[in-house]
Amino acid sequence: MVKKSIRILVAVLGIGLAGMATLAVGADKMKMVDPAKILKEKGVYGLYNTFKVQPSYSQLSMAERSKAVSEVEAVVKKHSKSVFVQAYLTRGFKSDSDFLLRMHSYEPADAQAFISDFSATALGRNSNVTLALIGVTKGLNHTTKDKSPDLLKALKSTPYSAGPTKYAFVIPIDKSSEWWNQSEAEKLMRMEEHTIPTLPFLVNVKRKLYHSTGLDDTDFITYFETSDLVAFNNLNIALHSVSEMNFNTRYGSPIVMGTIMSVADVVKALSK
């Protein structure tokens, strides 16, 4: 009877431990970064690194380069619980880079750990970083719901509706000391003047803003996606035509343009 009771107890404990293991696995899966969520939340860090592939990479054997995709994908998967990684092919668009990695994380150190591991891959070892930017997502500084309700309503009434995007642009922006020393009323007026001309283009150009003052050598990082390059050109002409542009000490330098692709497809394109 005692032995039977012990066997029952062991079985119950086994079931309990198995259940706990199942819950742990489920919890582990829940920790995966949700792309739709992390791209919309405030307080998220965005890091942009461009890379130039060195001639030494093409000197590797085809067998070595053919393993690059699985090697890089393994690193992306390893960090997928804390970092969301996107890739863009810049080769042919920029002379100083071949690809761009865009990373989002709740802690900059997590993205830094991903870059460290990526640098140990065959592609990473044979590529040089040519640009590194970091910024954080937060609420708008000036055109807030309380200060500019009509403009925010207009922004919400012109959502992107042009379908899948093909190209991305990264444009760092610096402001002059004259900008920062204006009154809040003056900055609000100029940002409203800045935003109104962009409204007609928001149906076919996506945009996202990161704040970088004190985190990097730039004040803002602007990120755009579109398939309509003429519309994007016209959007930039509209932005250059307002007085707020006079307070920029940097607009681009560089402007990074890339084709939106999966991480695997970017590595494949670079490994031919």
> Could you give the residue numbers annotated as active site?
207
Q: Give 3-state DSSP helix, strand, coil % of the chain, rounded to 5.
A: 45, 25, 30
Q: What are phi and psi of 62, to 5 degrees?
A: -60, -35
Determine the Cα–Cα distance for residues 131 and 99; give it in Å rounded to an integer: 11
Determine the Cα–Cα distance for residues 189 and 176; give it in Å rounded to an integer: 17
Burial of 168 per CB tally in 10 Å (0-12, 13-18, 19+):
buried
Burial of 62 per CB tally in 10 Å (0-12, 13-18, 19+):
exposed
Which DSSP string do the residues of 119-145 spell out, in sequence order? TTSHHHHTEEEEEEEEEE----SSS-T
CA 146 to chain centre: 29
Determine the Cα–Cα distance for residues 159 and 201; give it in Å rounded to an integer: 10
